């Protein structure tokens, strides 16, 4: 039982990371109708900049600020120079262009930092484990990630439902031309939204830095899961991204933890062991297929988009 | 004859001229290795070690001028096969080397050695090519996959650990790793888990591991996976409670730089270490540091040994690759100053060598590296050698 609760926390933590990534991606798609495959590159840039600044300054917070701002600025430049040309093109062109950006950023990172993975440590004030319940010791840093994730979710909720900017963004998602005709600077709005999405990805990258290897190509492994999340949640919906991320995090973690035992009980233990690893890694895709079979537009589909 | 024809003809003459000039002088060596993906540094180190040996001979190996052509296989078996085809057909390469991953090796090696091309492996040593699938043109200068794991299995048993938890990725070399460890480990197995290749978060596995209360953990997670695992292991507070063991692949100098203090004190098995005390190794480590500004990894040492081995055989035939039988004989002798000290080939053309366990330390300059603790096996022969009948 204690182990199960601990695994729930693990699932929650993975889910929160995925939420940070997918919130940005789903925003950009929902509002600008752009498929941005290079989203993982901003995750990587955030981690690399933060690791470098942290190493030289000794301050994790400074590293985080630097990682977010550098990634945000690069993101906005990319939006202004490249993505703007793509808004009126079809999705295949967007996929090709942003796929090219992945190669560009990976190679650029390799030129600047080399192939050597960077070192990034947990700040001393977040190091160690805490006892959440009697008998469950959990790493403090992972708890902090969960906390940050919920804060961000709350922030996004308030931003969209309570502010004028949020209202404009929602309106822009529904009909770009009308919003522009009403006098809203839609170009600036798009740049800001893209910057926000990029900074969320960079935040995920910075927080992943102390746990994972900071290395070239780190963005691609999380990008695939992120796409699964936004497809399950309903493309364009932040609420859906939140639900989808937690769902994927839980299913992936619990699948890895309990499938070997369950399969060994059902089948012979040897067969169960060989089957469990591949099935555990497939579990989220099976869940995606199942959800799409009943809700083809995801759990929280965005309504009333112009059919164009 | 019009002008166009004249130009074409003269161009062709020039091209043939340069080509034949090359053919007469230098021997081409084709290197298929992994330079992209997260594991790109493995291939980079093999290539740099190999190139260092060529640079030390002023562009020659064994006094024979060589030309090294390198291509990236991207860790994909299909791509490795294409490159091998191109090297053999277009560049007329007769010596191939460089492959890092066993799955790529399985796709390339059996085919090329049958077409009278020599393959010298600086890394991958899948069990299938060491036993019944061995071939007279396939030489492995590194190890058979199981070897380093066997050494740790032996050491862990000797240190009276009796309840070990095992973790490896779900792919052929992962299975080889666990098989190798178990061959010499005599105690109880607390649990055995195969993870997805390329997995980055191990929270779930660590929680499950903790619940089983093992007295030691053995893991084989090469490259970035290892960095993630070691960091997360320390963050869960486990490195102070349950000792961690692994092969050298999980503790090369590049990984150590990225995990910092989290790995200090960990015991790992290796056929080589930068502090191995022999003249060839001292020279190699110093030259590598001077040329590339970093401490060599075991991969670099294998690339370097591979180059020297090829050099020794080229010297024996005077650079004439038509003397294939003599070249093979010379390779088999392994007459080169290996950075490992003792080195010979067994019946299946895999190394017969000493294997050590090393400990991760922080040296006087604050850098993380490995130090040899003890020699576990002397002149160790892999378990598949006897199945190899030529």
Q: Is residue A110 classed exposed, middle or buried when 0-12, 13-18 and 19+ CB atoms within 10 A define those classes? A: middle
Residues 6+ apart with CB under 8 A from B181: B149, B150, B152, B153, B166, B218
B326 and B369 both lie in a single domain: no
Q: Identify whether the C-beta of residue B166 lies closer than 8 Å to the C-beta of residue B213.
A: no
| Interface probe, candidates B41, B175, B207, B229, chain A, greatest A C-beta count within 10 A | B207
CB atoms B237 and A128 under 8 Å: yes
Closest CA to B204 of A19, A259, A254: A254
Give the range of the structural domain holding residue B292, as residue numbers without chain letter: 3-143+277-349
Q: Which residues of A touch B38 (CB under 8 A)?
A: 213, 215-218
B36 and B109 both lie in a single domain: yes
B251 and B122 both lie in a single domain: no
B254 and B194 both lie in a single domain: yes
B166 and B199 both lie in a single domain: yes
CB atoms A119 and B204 under 8 Å: no
Find residue A130's DSSP bridge partners: A138
CB atoms A256 and B204 under 8 Å: yes
Question: What distance in Å separates residue B191's CA from the closest CA in chain A?
Answer: 11
Q: How many angstroms separate the CA atoms of A260 and B190, rounded?
A: 14
For A116, nearest residue in chain B (alpha carbons): B254
SS3 category, B124: coil
Q: Would you call A257 an interface residue with chain B, using a CB distance cutoff of 8 Å?
A: yes
Beta carbons within 10 angstroms of residue B284's beta carbon: 27
Tally the domains of chain B.
2
* CA within 13 Å, CB half, A300: 15
Q: Would you call A260 an interface residue with chain B, using a CB distance cutoff of 8 Å?
A: yes
- Provide the H-helix boundaries in B115-266: 147-158, 172-184, 203-212, 224-235, 253-259
For B45, nearest residue in chain A (alpha carbons): A115
Instruction: Give the per-residue SS3 of chain A.
Output: CHHHHHHHHHHHHHHHHHHHHHHHHHHHHHHHCCCCCCHHHHHHHHHHHHHHHHHHHCCHHHHHHHHHHHHHHHHHHHHHHCHHHHCCCCHHHHHHHHHHHHHHHHHHHHHHHCCCCECCCCCHHHCCEEEEECCEEEEHHHHHHHHHHHHHHHHHHHHHHHCHHHHHHHHHHHCHHHHHHCCCCHHHHHHHHHHHHHHHHHHHHHHHCCCCCECCCHHHHHHHHHHHHHHHHCCCCHHHHHHHHHHHHHHHHHHHHHHHHHHHHHCCHHHHHHHHHHHHHHHHHHHHHHHHHHCCCCCCCCCCCCCC
Q: What is residue B152's predicted lDDT score, i.e. its pLDDT? A: 95
| CA end-to-end span of chain B | 58
| DSSP structural state of residue B142 | S
B187 and B234 both lie in a single domain: yes
For A124, nearest residue in chain B (alpha carbons): B235
Q: Would you call A44 an interface residue with chain B, using a CB distance cutoff of 8 Å?
A: no
pLDDT(A240) > 50: yes
Q: How many angstroms separate the CA atoms of B53 and B274, rounded?
A: 17
Q: How many angstroms separate the CA atoms of B252 and B257, rounded?
A: 9
Q: What is residue A176's predicted lDDT score, i.e. its pLDDT? A: 79
Tens of pLDDT, residues A137-193: 899 999 999 999 999 999 999 998 899 988 888 888 777 788 888 888 888 989 999
Q: Which residues of A touch B211 (CB under 8 A)?
A: 3
Q: Which pair of tokens denotes residue A50? A: 């933060």
Closest Cβ opposite residue A14 in set B170, B203, B232: B203
Size of interface A-B (CB pairs under 8 A): 106
Give the predicted TM-score (pTM) of the model: 0.84
Q: What is the DSSP string of B41-84?
A: HHHHHHHHHHHHHHHHTTSEETTEEEEEEEEE-TT-HHHHHHHH
Q: Return the CA Rg of chain B.
A: 22
Q: What is residue A308's predicted lDDT score, i.e. its pLDDT? A: 39
Q: Which pair of tokens denotes residue B1? A: 């004859």
Q: What is residue B246's predicted lDDT score, i.e. its pLDDT? A: 94
The more confidently predicted of residues B344 and A135 is: B344
Question: What distance in Å separates residue B9's CA from the closest CA in chain A?
Answer: 41
Pairing between β-strand B60-61 and β-strand B64-72 as defined by DSSP bridges: antiparallel
Q: Which residues of A touch B44 (CB under 8 A)?
A: 115
Q: Which residues of B touch A14 (CB under 8 A)?
A: 201, 203
CB atoms B254 and A117 under 8 Å: yes
Q: What is residue B15's predicted lDDT score, i.e. its pLDDT? A: 53
Closest Cβ opposite residue B231 in set A129, A211, A280: A211
Instruction: Give the per-residue SS3 of B231-283.
Output: HHHHHCCCCCCCCEEEEHHHCCHHHHHHHHHHHCCCEEEECCCCCCCCHHHHH
Question: What distance in Å separates residue B211's CA from the closest CA in chain A?
Answer: 7
Q: What is the DSSP string of B288-356?
A: HHHHHSS---HHHHHHHHHHHHHHHHHHHHTT-TT-HHHHHHHHHHT-S--TTS--EE-TTS-EEEEEE
To the nearest whole number, what is the mean pLDDT of chain A? Answer: 89
Pairing between β-strand B64-72 and β-strand B27-33 as defined by DSSP bridges: parallel
B124 and B162 both lie in a single domain: no
Q: What is residue B19's predicted lDDT score, i.e. its pLDDT? A: 47
CB atoms B260 and A278 under 8 Å: no
For B44, nearest residue in chain A (alpha carbons): A115
B185 and B260 both lie in a single domain: yes
B13 and B99 both lie in a single domain: yes
| Interface probe, candidates A16, A47, A212, chain B, greatest B C-beta count within 10 A | A212
Q: Which residues of B touch A214 (CB under 8 A)?
A: 258
Find residue B32's DSSP bridge partners: B71
Q: Helix A140-162 to helix A2-32 angle, to the nearest 10 degrees?
A: 40
Q: Which pair of tokens denotes residue B346? A: 């067994």
B111 and B58 both lie in a single domain: yes
Residues 6+ apart with CB under 8 A from B129: B105, B106, B109, B110, B135, B138, B140
Q: What H or E segment, with its residue span, contains residue B133?
A: none
Question: What distance in Å separates residue A271's CA from the closest CA in chain B?
Answer: 13
B7 and B86 both lie in a single domain: yes
| Interface probe, candidates B208, B254, B292, B300, chain A, greatest A C-beta count within 10 A | B208
Question: What distance in Å separates residue B125's CA from the closest CA in chain A?
Answer: 23
Q: What is residue A141's predicted lDDT score, i.e. its pLDDT? A: 93
CB atoms B38 and A215 under 8 Å: yes
Question: What distance in Å separates residue B198's CA from the closest CA in chain A?
Answer: 8
Q: How many angstroms separate the CA atoms of B199 and A46, rounded?
A: 20
Q: How many angstroms separate the CA atoms of B272 and B280, rounded?
A: 12
B183 and B301 both lie in a single domain: no
Q: What share of chain A has pLDDT > 70, as a percent? A: 98
Q: What CATH code is carried by the domain that includes residue B100? A: 3.40.50.2300
Q: How many angstroms separate the CA atoms of B219 and B229, rounded?
A: 9
Residue B356: phi and psi, rounded to 5, are -115, 165
Q: What is residue B359's predicted lDDT score, i.e. its pLDDT? A: 95
Q: Which pair of tokens denotes residue A80? A: 């202004």
Q: What share of chain A has pLDDT > 90, as a percent? A: 56
Q: What is the DSSP string of B53-65?
A: HHHHTTSEETTEE
Q: How many angstroms separate the CA atoms of B78 and B89, rounded?
A: 17
For B175, nearest residue in chain A (alpha carbons): A274
SS3 category, B359: strand
Instruction: Tell me the average pLDDT across A83-111.
Output: 92
Instruction: Tell me the average pLDDT across A269-293.
Output: 85
Q: Which residues of B touch A277 (CB under 8 A)?
A: 170, 193-196
| DSSP structural state of residue B29 | E
Determine the Cα angle at B111 with ends B110 and B117, to 5°.
95
Q: Which pair of tokens denotes residue A169? A: 């963004």
Q: Per-residue confidence of chain B (390 residues) as pLDDT tens digits?
A: 565 666 665 555 555 544 444 444 689 999 999 988 778 889 999 999 999 999 999 999 999 999 999 999 988 999 999 999 999 999 999 999 999 998 899 999 999 999 999 999 999 999 999 999 999 999 999 999 999 999 999 999 999 999 999 999 887 788 889 999 999 999 999 988 888 887 888 999 999 999 899 999 999 998 788 889 999 999 988 988 999 999 999 899 888 988 888 899 999 999 999 999 999 999 999 999 999 999 999 999 999 999 999 999 999 999 999 999 999 999 999 999 999 998 999 999 999 999 999 999 998 888 899 999 999 999 999 999 999 875
| CA end-to-end span of chain A | 52
| DSSP structural state of residue B2 | -
Closest CA to B215 of B190, B178, B246: B190
Chain centroid to CA B110:
18
For A250, nearest residue in chain B (alpha carbons): B204
SS3 category, B95: strand
Q: How many angstroms separate the CA atoms of B370 and B361, rounded?
A: 6
Q: Which pair of tokens denotes residue B309? A: 């081995």
Closest Cβ opposite residue B232 in set A116, A211, A281: A211
């Amino acid at each position: 039982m204690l182990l199960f609760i601990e695994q729930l926390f693990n699932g929650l933590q993975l889910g929160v990371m995925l939420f940070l990534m997918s919130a940005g991606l789903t925003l950009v798609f929902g509002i600008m109708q752009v498929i941005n495959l290079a989203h993982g590159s901003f995750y990587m840039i955030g981690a690399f900049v933060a690791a470098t600044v942290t190493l030289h300054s000794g301050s994790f917070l400074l590293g985080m600020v630097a990682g977010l701002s550098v990634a945000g600025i690069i993101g906005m430049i990319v939006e202004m120079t490249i993505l703007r040309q793509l808004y009126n093109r079809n999705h295949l062109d967007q996929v090709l262009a942003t796929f090219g950006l992945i190669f560009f950023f990976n190679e650029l990172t390799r030129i600047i930092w080399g192939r050597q993975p960077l070192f990034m440590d947990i700040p001393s004030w977040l190091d160690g484990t805490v006892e959440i319940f009697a008998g469950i010791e959990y790493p403090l840093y992972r708890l902090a990630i969960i906390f940050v994730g919920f804060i961000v979710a709350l922030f996004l909720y308030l931003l969209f439902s309570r502010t004028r900017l949020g209202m404009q963004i929602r309106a822009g998602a529904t009909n770009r031309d009308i919003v522009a005709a009403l006098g809203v600077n839609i170009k600036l709005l798009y740049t800001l939204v893209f910057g926000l999405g990029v900074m969320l990805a960079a935040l995920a990258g910075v927080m992943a830095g102390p746990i994972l290897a900071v290395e070239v190509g780190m963005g691609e492994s999380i990008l695939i899961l992120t796409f699964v999340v936004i497809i399950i949640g309903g493309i364009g919906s932040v609420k859906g991204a939140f639900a989808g991320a937690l769902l994927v995090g839980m299913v992936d973690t619990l699948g890895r933890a309990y499938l070997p035992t369950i399969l060994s009980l059902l089948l012979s233990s040897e067969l169960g062991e060989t089957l469990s690893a591949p099935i555990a890694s497939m579990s989220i895709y099976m869940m995606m297929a199942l959800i799409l079979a009943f809700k083809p537009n995801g759990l929280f589909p965005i309504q009333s988009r112009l059919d164009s | 004859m019009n002008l166009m024809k004249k130009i074409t003809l003269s161009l062709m003459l020039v091209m043939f001229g340069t080509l034949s000039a090359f053919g007469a002088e230098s021997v081409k060596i084709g290197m298929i290795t992994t330079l992209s993906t997260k594991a790109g540094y493995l291939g980079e180190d093999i290539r740099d070690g190999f190139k260092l040996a060529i640079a030390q001979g002023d562009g020659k190996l064994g006094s024979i001028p060589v030309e090294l052509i390198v291509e990236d296989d991207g860790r994909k078996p299909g791509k490795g096969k294409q490159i091998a085809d191109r090297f053999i057909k277009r560049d007329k390469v007769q010596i191939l080397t460089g492959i890092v991953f066993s799955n790529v090796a399985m796709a390339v090696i059996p085919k090329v050695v049958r077409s009278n091309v020599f393959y010298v492996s600086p890394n991958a040593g899948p069990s299938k090519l060491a036993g019944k699938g061995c071939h007279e043109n396939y030489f492995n200068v590194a190890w058979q996959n199981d070897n380093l794991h066997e050494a740790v299995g032996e050491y862990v048993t000797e240190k009276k650990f009796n309840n070990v938890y095992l973790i490896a990725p779900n792919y052929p070399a992962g299975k080889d790793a666990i098989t190798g460890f178990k061959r010499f480990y005599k105690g109880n197995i607390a649990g055995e888990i195969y993870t997805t290749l390329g997995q980055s978060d191990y929270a779930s596995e660590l929680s499950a591991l903790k619940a089983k209360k093992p007295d030691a953990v053995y893991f084989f997670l090469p490259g970035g996976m290892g960095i993630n695992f070691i960091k997360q292991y320390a963050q869960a507070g486990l490195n102070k409670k349950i000792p961690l063991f692994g092969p050298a692949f999980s503790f090369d100098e590049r990984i150590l730089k990225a995990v910092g203090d989290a790995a200090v004190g960990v015991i790992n098995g290796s056929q080589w270490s930068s502090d191995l005390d022999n003249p060839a190794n001292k020279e190699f480590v110093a030259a590598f540091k001077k040329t590339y500004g970093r401490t060599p990894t075991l991969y670099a040492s294998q690339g370097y040994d591979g180059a020297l081995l090829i050099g020794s055989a080229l010297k024996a035939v005077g650079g004439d690759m038509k003397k294939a039988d003599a070249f093979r004989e010379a390779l088999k002798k392994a007459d080169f100053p290996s950075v490992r000290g003792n080195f010979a080939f067994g019946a299946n053309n895999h190394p017969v060598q000493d294997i050590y366990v090393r400990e991760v330390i922080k040296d006087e300059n604050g850098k993380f590296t490995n130090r040899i603790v003890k020699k576990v096996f002397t002149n160790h022969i892999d378990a598949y050698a006897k199945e190899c009948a030529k």
